[in-house]
């Protein structure tokens, strides 16, 4: 099978995955946007006059990019993982397995649809929260770069979680004990420079921190670490996770038995 043949079929599977979440957009898009707005209203109201992370940047403005990226990451992960686990439990995954789709086509379709959902939710959160405090857009190329990398990374992680999990509670454990802590401890609500030395060092081991920090750089032109360092860490992490997901798909891990 040549490269062209190996990617045939991506389009219909990709459209299927996009339509799967879009048909229930009130739940898959509307609910996360509402959640992001509530976070902004609560934390912004309480801390606006008490915290200034970057000089001249209000806390509400500082918070918006973090909420946008957090929503993007969580929903990119949820799209691929929920689709696979539902298909495995209901048994309709067999209809995809019967097609001559390669593992590369599976990867591009599932991760591509996850990226679309993440970007749609992120744009929705930004559109709603920006009414409260416009954060600006100093270096938009960093914003776009880290948004795409973040959606790809979490879409790949969602694919791995969906392949590994055999029950909904296993998937929930993956999300609650891995994805959620890494997201909340990545600097969404604070700057890592405000942490004690030990936790400051630990935060730099979290790849989600570099996603948030690099993404925020696009808005304010300042960041806790160099955006090039963030790009190298996130790029390397995304590549490793994507290679693992492709390997699991190629071997049919937990889907061909």
Q: Residue 16 domain-assigned?
A: yes
Residue 5: predicted pLDDT:
55
| Cβ atoms of residues 229 and 143 within 8 Å | no
Residue 54: predicted pLDDT:
73
DSSP 8-state class, residue 252? T
Q: Which residue has the tokens 């099978």?
A: 1
Q: How far is the C-alpha of 129 from the C-alpha of 121, rounded, in Å?
A: 12
Residue 153: predicted pLDDT:
97
Q: Give 183 or 231, the one with higher predicted confidence.
A: 231
| Predicted confidence band of residue 223 (pLDDT cuts 50, 70, 90) | confident
Q: Residue 65 domain-assigned?
A: yes
Mean pLDDT across 80-108: 90
Q: Which domain holds residue 244?
A: 9-251
Residue 6: predicted pLDDT:
55
Q: Give 64 or 195, the one with higher predicted confidence.
A: 64
Q: Which residue has the tokens 């912004």?
A: 44
Mean pLDDT across 123-133: 92
Residue 1 reports pLDDT greater than 60: no
Q: How far is the C-alpha of 164 from the C-alpha of 83, rounded, in Å?
A: 13
Q: In the chain, what percentage of residues exceed pLDDT 90? A: 62
**Quick one: which of 35, 39, 25, 184 has its CA closest to 116?**
25
Please state, in angstroms and as integers, the Cα–Cα distance from residue 141 to each residue in 99, 114, 134, 147, following that order.
Answer: 38, 21, 18, 10
Residue 257 reports pLDDT greater than 70: no
Q: How far is the C-alpha of 257 from the C-alpha of 252, rounded, in Å?
A: 8
Q: Residue 104 domain-assigned?
A: yes
Mean pLDDT across 184-202: 83
Least confident of 6-20, 219-233, 240-254: 6-20
Q: Residue 2 domain-assigned?
A: no
Q: How far is the C-alpha of 126 from the C-alpha of 120, rounded, in Å?
A: 10
Number of folded domains in the chain? 1
Q: How far is the C-alpha of 104 from the C-alpha of 69, rounded, in Å?
A: 27
Q: Residue 196 domain-assigned?
A: yes
Q: Residue 124 domain-assigned?
A: yes
Mean per-residue pLDDT of the chain: 90
Residue 3 reports pLDDT greater than 60: no
Residue 96: predicted pLDDT:
86
Mean pLDDT across 149-175: 94
| Predicted confidence band of residue 8 (pLDDT cuts 50, 70, 90) | low
Residue 179 reports pLDDT greater than 70: yes
Mean pLDDT across 161-173: 93
Residue 193: predicted pLDDT:
78
The SS3 call for residue 240 is helix
* CA triple 252-94-116, angle to 5 deg: 75
Mean pLDDT across 23-34: 94
Mean pLDDT across 46-69: 81
Mean pLDDT across 144-155: 97
Residue 4 reports pLDDT greater than 70: no
Q: Residue 1 domain-assigned?
A: no
Q: Residue 186 domain-assigned?
A: yes
Q: Which two tokens stand for residue 122?
A: 């992120």
Mean pLDDT across 81-96: 90
Residue 11, number of CB atoms within 10 A of its CB = 13
Mean pLDDT across 7-36: 91
The SS3 call for residue 42 is helix
């Amino acid at each position: 099978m040549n490269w062209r043949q190996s990617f045939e079929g991506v389009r219909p599977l990709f459209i299927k995955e996009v339509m799967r979440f879009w048909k229930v957009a009130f739940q898959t898009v509307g609910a996360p946007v509402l959640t992001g707005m509530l976070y902004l209203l609560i934390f912004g109201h309480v801390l606006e006059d008490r915290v200034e992370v970057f000089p001249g940047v209000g806390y509400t403005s500082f918070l918006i990019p973090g909420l946008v990226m957090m929503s993007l990451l969580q929903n990119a992960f949820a799209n691929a993982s929920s689709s696979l686990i539902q298909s495995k439990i209901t048994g309709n995954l067999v209809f995809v397995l019967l097609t001559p789709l390669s593992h590369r086509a599976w990867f591009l379709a599932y991760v591509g649809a996850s990226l679309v959902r993440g970007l749609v939710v992120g744009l929705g959160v930004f559109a709603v929260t920006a009414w409260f405090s416009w954060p600006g857009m100093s270096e938009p190329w960093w914003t776009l770069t880290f948004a795409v990398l973040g959606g790809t990374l979490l879409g790949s992680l969602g694919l791995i979680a969906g392949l590994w999990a055999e029950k909904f509670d296993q998937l929930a454990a993956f999300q609650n004990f891995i994805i959620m802590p890494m997201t909340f401890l990545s600097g969404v609500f604070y700057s890592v420079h405000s942490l004690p030395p030990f936790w400051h060092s630990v935060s730099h081991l979290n790849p989600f921190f570099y996603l948030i920090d690099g993404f925020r750089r696009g808005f304010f032109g300042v960041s806790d670490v160099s955006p090039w360092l963030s790009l190298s860490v996130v790029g390397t992490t995304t590549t490793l996770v994507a290679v693992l997901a492709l390997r699991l798909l190629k071997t049919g891990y937990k889907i061909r038995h």
